[in-house]
Amino acid sequence: NAGVMQNPRHLVRRRGQEARLRCSPMKGHSHVYWYRQLPEEGLKFMVYLQKENIIDESGMPKERFSAEFPKEGPSILRIQQVVRGDSAAYFCASSPKGLAGGPSTDTQYFGPGTRLTVL
Amino acid sequence: KQEVTQIPAALSVPEGENLVLNCSFTDSAIYNLQWFRQDPGKGLTSLLLIQSSQREQTSGRLNASLDKSSGRSTLYIAASQPGDSATYLCAVHSGGGADGLTFGKGTHLIIQP
């Protein structure tokens, strides 16, 4: 069973360009979470998605950032018009379906991350 | 708002020593608490998961305890080895509609050969 996969592993963009980060959850997992780790900072929760639904985006900046998890294919974190402050490691995690449709209390399995550098 | 604090921020000990890493959280309404390991430039590896109804979990040389009422967890590493050198992260999965994990800033551990 392959783990959580993220690509690209490293992404370089110039200010004003768009960044698209992809995450494929573990097989059988229907919950996806995105986190951001700024230099010298802890990981911060951004958004929680289930298939075709955004459940909680309370940690995601209101402008320029969006996320989706379509019925088919990977979850995408999209950052428009990137700025230098967006430079960070972006991690995706997945977990199995929670009981009674609620939040999963199982282990979150993390991918290797995408390291975004904005020049 | 849940806040997670890890002490110490950094620790350097000789190989073979037993050591304890500390984690505290402000809101005791949690589903579970996880300890992760992060190597430089790498992703996170889950070490132990303790559900809110549990007191401790063990895996090999690692033992994690949870005292939910006091908002504390400890990670005990026995007979430390140079390969244990990494940053150890504590994260809580809170209730009350908070769906993501709240992480501490980590303890940077160096085991001297």
The pLDDT of residue A100 is above 80: no
When scoring A40, A108, A109, A117 by the number of chain B Cβ atoms within 10 A, the one with the most, hence best to mutate, is A108
Q: Is A109 left (phi over 0), alpha (psi -120 to 50) or beta?
A: beta
Name every chain B residue with its beta carbon within 8 A of the beta carbon of A58. Answer: 98
Q: What is the mean pLDDT of residues A48-70?
A: 92
pLDDT of B87: 96
Instruction: Please state the rounded mean pLDDT for residues A68-91.
Output: 95
The pLDDT > 70 percentage for chain A reads 91
Tell me what pLDDT residue B38 has: 94
Mean pLDDT over residues B34-49, rounded?
Answer: 91
Cα distance between residue B88 and residue B66, in whole Å: 16
> What are the strands, taking DSSP E only, across chain A?
5-7, 10-13, 19-24, 31-37, 43-50, 53-56, 65-68, 75-79, 88-95, 109-110, 114-118
| Burial call B29-48: b when 16+ CB within 10 Å, e when fewer | ebbbbbbbbbeeeebbebbb
Q: Do B105 and A41 touch (CB under 8 A)?
A: yes
Query: Mean per-residue pLDDT for A58-64?
Result: 93
Q: Is the pLDDT of residue A91 over 50?
A: yes
Rounded mean pLDDT of chain A? 90
Mean pLDDT, residues A91-112 taken together:
74
**Per-residue pLDDT for B8 more than 80?**
yes
B76 touches chain A (CB under 8 A): no
pLDDT band at A108 (very low <50, low <70, confident <90, very high): confident
Quick one: pLDDT band at residue B102, thresholds 50, 70, 90? very high
Q: Which of B100, B104, B105 sits opposite A33 (nearest CB)?
A: B100
Find chain B residues with C-beta within 8 A of A115's C-beta. 41
Distances (CA, A) of B66 to A15, B4, B34, B85: 45, 14, 10, 23
Is A45's CB within 8 Å of B100's CB?
Answer: yes
Helix (H) or strand (E) holding B110: strand B107-112
CA B79 → CA A99, B19, B46, B60, distances in Å?
38, 8, 20, 11
